[in-house]
Chains A and B, each alone.
Chain A
Amino acid sequence: DAKTTQPTSMDCAEGRAANLPCNHSTISGNEYVYWYRQIHSQGPQYIIHGLKNNETNEMASLIITEDRKSSTLILPHATLRDTAVYYCIVFGDTGRRALTFGSGTRLQVQP
């Protein structure tokens, strides 16, 4: 699986958009970009995933650059409940192999 690089931590003001970057310069053509988050003492929660087109769901938006070497997860209006560790994972073998988690980005939403 392609390696990802994320900032260790970020702060965001409540009500503002949180933009979490992820670099994955070695991504291959059949690998998706997945985003999960883990709120303290809970299991990881799926947020969104995409291959090359931008994606949006009720939780977030995923912007993938044209060359697919980086992506940004956008939480449009962050709330205190969005404080969590966010993991960007590049993966192309869903269902057959397990996801590998890196260190992620610790997002702290400030009141």
Chain B
Amino acid sequence: GAVVSQHPSWVICKSGTSVKIECRSLDFQATTMFWYRQFPKQSLMLMATSNEGSKATYEQGVEKDKFLINHASLTLSTLTVTSAHPEDSSFYICSPTGSVDTQYFGPGTRLTVL
């Protein structure tokens, strides 16, 4: 299967700071990137979709100015949580996809905002 990495795997930050999460597809080119988040004891929820070189589209209820997505290359996308607050604490998972018939996922980033 495809190899996807995320960095960092976990991060703890103070309220009001910004956190950047990187997602890399290591062995294929990702024309599309999906970002999900998962709160404790819940399932994955799609946050946004981005296509390489284009602006991301956000799901209802996800603030585009708070969750900045950059998908400038076919192997790297970043999600920046700006002015993070405790309610943003969650497990963030990226899913790059390209010309394959299966969607693969990154290992996830656990964000804890104090």
Contact = CB atoms under 8 A, between A and B. Distances in A.
B60 interface: no
- For A41, A98, A103, A104, the residue with the greatest tally of chain B CB atoms inside 10 Å of its CB is A98
A22 to B, nearest CB: 15
A44 B32 contact: no
A49 B49 contact: no
A84 B46 CA distance: 20
Band of interface residues on A: 20 to 34
A44 B102 contact: no
B95 A98 contact: yes
Contact of A46 (B44, B104, B110): B104
Contact of A95 (B44, B98, B106): B98
Given A41-B108, A94-B102, A103 B97 contact: no
Nearest to B10: A41
Given A41-B91, A45-B105, A46-B1, A94 B97 contact: yes
Nearest to B46: A98
A49 B107 contact: no
A102 B49 CA distance: 19
Contacts of A43: 4, 6, 93, 105-108
Given A43-B93, A44-B93, A98 B108 contact: no
Given A46-B1, A95-B98, A100 B108 contact: no
B108 A94 contact: no
B103 A94 contact: yes
Contacts of A45: 105
9 contacts: A42-B107, A44-B105, A46-B105, A94-B103, A95-B31, A95-B99, A97-B49, A99-B103, A101-B45
Interface of A: 34, 36, 38, 41-46, 49, 87, 94-104
